[in-house]
Amino acid sequence: MARIVFGMNLSLDGYVDFQDLPVPDAKLFRHWTEHVGDLAGSIYGRQMYEVMRYWDDDHPDWTSEQHDFAVAWRRQPKWVVSRSLKSVGPNATLVADDVEAVMRGLKAKLAGEIAASGPTLAQSLSDIGLIDEYRLYLQPVVVGRGKPFFSGPRPPLRLVSSERIGGEVIRLTYVPA
């Protein structure tokens, strides 16, 4: 049985807007590449999927590390939860209806980790008890505004680990208590 994990980079004041966060250092970027490469797949909300579609096409200015991430991202299966999208890109499946049944089915048939990507999607999955773990990658900045990591109330959480990744980032890992 797979586990659904929600993890994102965020500011110290809890916001996930990537344009306001520092560019990951080499170690953190490598961490994300390895993480994506090890996933059984990823579940995206529409907004996060549209941001991540950047990795579908090669860019001439990419470093070898960026290319490696793109290869890992393209390889993994993706499920996109959206009622407004009519189609999705390569290696992706659109989920427009009966989201809970589809997600429970994925958990039952896959092994390993499935990443939930996007705070709004994570809130919906949390509301129906499907998030098994939360990973907060705290960046050393305060942005003061934006989209929060937790977009609504959460069940009580229990800290299970903390780890420094790269020069400045602390990852806090929580499970529902």
In a domain, 176, yes or no: no
Report the CATH number that the domain containing residue 67 is assigned in CATH.
3.40.430.10
Do the Cβ atoms of 76 and 91 come closer than 8 Å?
A: yes
Phi, psi torsion values for 124, nearest 5 degrees: -60, -45
Question: Domain range holding 36?
Answer: 3-7+9-131+142-147
This prediction has a pTM of 0.94
With respect to residue 50, please indicate whether it lies within any of the assigned structural domains.
yes
Q: What are phi and psi of 150, to 5 degrees?
A: -100, 110
Decide if 120 is inside a domain.
yes
Tally of structural domains, the chain: 1
State mean pLDDT over 7-32: 93
Give the ranges where 76-168 is alpha helix by DSSP (H). Answer: 99-109, 119-127
For residue 170, is it within any domain?
Answer: no
In a domain, 71, yes or no: yes
Predicted pLDDT at 152: 87
pLDDT band at 20 (very low <50, low <70, confident <90, very high): confident
**165 inside domain:** no
Query: 68 in a domain, yes or no?
Result: yes
> Percentages helix, strand, coil for the chain, rounded to the nearest 5?
35, 30, 40
Residue 37 domain flag: yes
pLDDT in tens, 36-46: 999 999 999 99
Q: 51-89 pLDDT, tens per residue?
A: 999 999 999 999 999 999 999 999 999 999 999 999 999
